[in-house]
A and B are shown apart, each in its own frame.
Chain A
Amino acid sequence: MLKIHDATRKFGGLTAVNQVSFGVDAQEILGVIGPNGAGKTTFFNLVSGAIPLSSGQIVFNGVNTGGMAPHRIAHLGIGRTFQIVRPFGELTVLENAMAGIGSRFCTNFVRSLGLYQRRLHLDEARELLSRTHLLPYQNETARNLPLGLLRRLEIARALALRPKLILLDESFSGLSHKEAASLVDLVRELRRDGMTVLLIEHNMQITMDLCDRLVVLDRGQKIAEGLPASVRNDERVIAAYLGNDD
């Protein structure tokens, strides 16, 4: 469903993402791994439209997303979360979820004038929160929540637009063992509901356990791709992580 052809992004003299190509199948959980500075987050920013491609193509369900603004890519069905969480801090948890639902109404001025505190919409927002186990916190101000809950809140907010593909940028980092385990369950649930998941993760145990396939980036280039077990034993991957003595 997502095809990446020679995606390249240069920042001045630095090539952060260098001719990366691979495909993602529908309902797949694909992990993007690699050492720090490998270009993983830059790659996610290219897919979500936060920064434009220098060259190459990203095609989502047959639509070339090159040059599209992030909000248009979101409406195509790509949701994302951030490595450094970006909740709407002054709004409550419920309002954060409502804001996500609001993106369906904010496509033109007249529609955006609808009142949002309707039972129908509140129920939908609470449904999103209950899926992400945030319902007990619905009236809390988002900035008062701990990191684990904010990571789930970002997922809830992204789910509001009913995405077909969701990008999780280190959603597991900084979580307790228990929090991470419940998030793993949530990701599996999302896939069962027909969603495709692309995730960046440093925790090897989680990626090996959760992902169907892995793509390994190092210094902007794709150095390996395949099943978790085979990637783990790939010489180039081991060299990238541990360094080689040449």
Chain B
Amino acid sequence: MFDDYTVTILIMMAVWSIVTLGLNVITGFAGQFNLGIGVYMGTGAYVSAMLTTQAGFGFWSAMPLAIVAAAMMGALTGLPALRVREDSLAVLTIGLVFVFESLLVYLPYFGGPVGISRIPRATFAGVPLTNNGYLVIALLALAAAIGICWYVKRSWLGLALESVREDEHATSVIGIYPARFKLYAFTIGAALAGLGGVIYTHFIRFISPYDFGFMPSIYVLVMLVFGGIGTIRGAVFGACLLTMLPELIRFVQDYRNLMYGCVLVLLMLYQPRGLLGSDSFVWLQLLRAKNSLRLFFTNGRSYAQNS
């Protein structure tokens, strides 16, 4: 269907989209700073890799366990967020990701600095999947992640998370316990990032601690901020574009950090909500275009708003 190169890019776009969606639940919905999303992605990846290389698990049986492990890691690292806020929390999560990376490097049990290799391919009905087949799985995982985020956003849970982001004390005064919902956000976000880690691991089939350290965590944050923090479309768009861009434009690949840095500075100055965030320039233009199209096709009759 696609050549290997294209499939690789598409799968990596799906992986980073899933991880960015996870960060979006924690930072976008619930407003809890997290510069260490790599911890959860890495937990998912390592648990799945260990189970399949050493404990004889298959891809499908290792995946749920890896996701549960990542979720537990999320709940555990969410505990400090109950006491620490905003900038202190950001610094604390940087600390966590360094501890996580170092532990993986120093403990030979996890393969040390060389990591884990010869991770088996995913199988389907006993047959190892081709890259094209794996792309289907990655896209299904992405669809599931989008579905979960979509549902969370429309549930009382999602509304409570956004209330916590806006004003923690006001949230408690109307009868919602903020600590409980912060933990939910960390758990759900970490589970999603863990899913991304599992998909990553069984595609790359060789992982090292540095794949889930501080820099990858920052890249994920850049993707989220770039696309539009707090929105599902922004998370997926940012992750896809910033995964694709270095491949499309050679120049970007050589100067990846330089470009990411400049993008961040410019966005914060001129479009702090990201490219597709609510109230952002591009998104407002798209909405306007949609409305014009709608008027065009209904011969100028505007729809009655249902509210």
Contacts and interface: CB of A to CB of B under 8 A. Distances in A.
Interface in A83-128: 86-91, 94-95, 98-100, 102-106, 109, 111-117, 122
Interface residues of B, number: 27
Given A109-B184, A113-B155, A138-B307, A82 B176 contact: no
B173 A91 contact: no
Interface string B147-182: 000010011110110110111011111111110110
Contacts of A80: 173
Given A109-B184, A111-B156, A116-B156, A100 B170 contact: no
Nearest to A112: B157
A149 to B, nearest CB: 16
B163 A88 contact: yes
B170 A88 contact: yes
Contacts of B155: 112-116
Contact of B173 (A48, A89, A109, A112): A48
Nearest to B172: A70
Interface stretch (A154-162, A180-188, A216-224, A236-244): A154-162
Given A100-B174, A109-B184, A161-B175, A89 B159 contact: no
A106 B154 contact: no
Contacts, number: 107
B307 A99 contact: no
A10 interface: no
B172 A102 contact: no
Contact of A71 (B176, B230, B307): B176
Contacts of B181: 106
A75 interface: yes
A106 B172 contact: no
Give the most central of A48, A71, A79, A91: most B CB within 10 Å: A71
A74 B154 contact: no
A112 B172 contact: no
A102 B162 CA distance: 12
A139 interface: yes
Contacts of B176: 71, 99, 102-103, 106
A203 B181 CA distance: 39
Contacts of B156: 102, 105-106, 111-114, 116
A88 B166 contact: yes
Contacts of B163: 88, 91, 99, 102
A227 interface: no
A50 interface: yes
Q: Give 7 closest A-B pairs by Cβ, nearest first.
A: A103-B175, A74-B175, A88-B166, A86-B170, A70-B172, A112-B157, A105-B156
Given A86-B170, A95-B162, A161-B174, 20 more contacts: A71-B173, A71-B177, A71-B178, A74-B172, A88-B166, A90-B166, A91-B163, A91-B166, A99-B159, A102-B159, A104-B175, A106-B156, A106-B175, A106-B181, A109-B184, A112-B157, A113-B157, A115-B151, A138-B307, A139-B307
